[in-house]
Amino acid sequence: MQYKESIPVSHKQVRASAGLFDVSHMGQVEIHGDRKHRLNFLEGLCPSELHELKVGQMKLSSLTNERGGIIDDCIFTEKENHTFVVVNGACKFGDIKHLNAHMATYNSKHGTSLSLNYLEESRSLMALQGPKAAAVVSRLSGKDLSGLRFMSTTNFAVAGYPCWVSRCGYTGEDGFELSVPAEVAPQLMDALLAQPEVMPIGLAARDSLRLEAGLCLYGHDLNEDTTPVAAGLLFTIGKRRRADGGFLGYKTVIDEIKNKSYARKRVGLLVNDGAPARENSEILDEAGKVIGLVTSGSVSPTLGSKISMGYIDKAFGENGTKVSVRVRGKVGSAVVHKLPFVPTNYYTGGN
């Protein structure tokens, strides 16, 4: 959770330079089989357009249940002979069980032989994040990274160790996730930490960074009773999928899109006074009525302000709406704030 430096110092290191996270707790899964069938199968479990992915492209999505709720948020990457899926550490065993159960049904129905390979012991995962991350990876690989844009991936050696290099992350900054054979992961981590721009960063700072960037944490901002629409993840639902459906919970999700039938929506909050509004703090209207609940909250090291995310009755969800928060029995003023709190710096090409 934390290395030698404090959480604010670690946080600011990532915003200003580069920080290295060990995220090997995440689940790394391969889906093998005929490309058309494996993507048909996966599109039955998520609302994104996966057939449109070219080799080396990535997409943020979610696994939904029959009610349209989110089982987990995940990233799909199209590889040359399989689809690579990264899922959350706390959900990975449930996700794998879910995928395997539906895969057995799909194989039986279509006469296919799709298979799942969980890379439990064979690979580790680390994330190098921050504005100087690209310079570090380029130096250690000898690669020109200008053509590797946000949400794309390729394979090359970093410090001599073979990596699956993905330009993505969970901090709002430019950066990379490096999937590496587990037996050489310590050596690669040592090589990265030997660079003058890099510090080891714990998961506590990762949490404050992702909150500033307006990114969800599963089990807090997302759960099986929350749909992608209410969560503000409408961009993950492809146009074709909205028309054709075919994924679990489709009817609920499309009804929410067409008729705005969801009751609450995810928003950001700037807390003006009192203590920081953390998870489970109540959100109140001006009359003192409970209209929502905070799901994540902290003090922003970048802004020096108290920030929160949560779900609020959609009538109060407009940017600038004045509300209150109740923290340990005391009420403080707050205002609905557009997400992200801190502008993101993802690399999309060019200067």
* Residue-range domain boundaries for the chain: 1-262, 264-337
Residue 116 bridge partners (DSSP): 31
Q: What does the pLDDT look like over 268-295, one tens digit per residue? A: 999 999 999 999 999 999 999 999 999 9
Closest CA to 264 of 225, 230, 310: 230
Q: What is the pTM of this model?
A: 0.96
Q: Tell the residue number behind the tokens 């629409």, with chain if given.
A: 229
| Token duo for residue 228 | 């992608």
pLDDT of amino acid 349: 87
The correct answer on CATH 3.30.1360.120 for the domain covering 1-262 is yes
Instruction: Name the residue among 322, 237, 225, 303 with its Cα closest to residue 264.
Output: 225
pLDDT in the model for residue 350: 64
Return the CATH architecture of domain 264-337.
Beta Barrel (2.40)
114-160 pLDDT, tens digit each: 999 999 999 999 999 999 999 999 999 999 999 999 999 999 999 99
Asked if 1-262 and 264-337 have one fold, the answer is no
pLDDT band at 351 (very low <50, low <70, confident <90, very high): low
Structure tokens at 60: 């943020």
Please list the helix, strand and coil fractions of the chain in percent, rounded to the nearest 5, in that order. Answer: 25, 30, 40
> pLDDT value at position 67?
97
**pLDDT(324) > 70:** yes
Q: How far apart are CA 74 and CA 248, in angstroms?
A: 16
**What value does the mean pLDDT take over residues 336-351?**
92
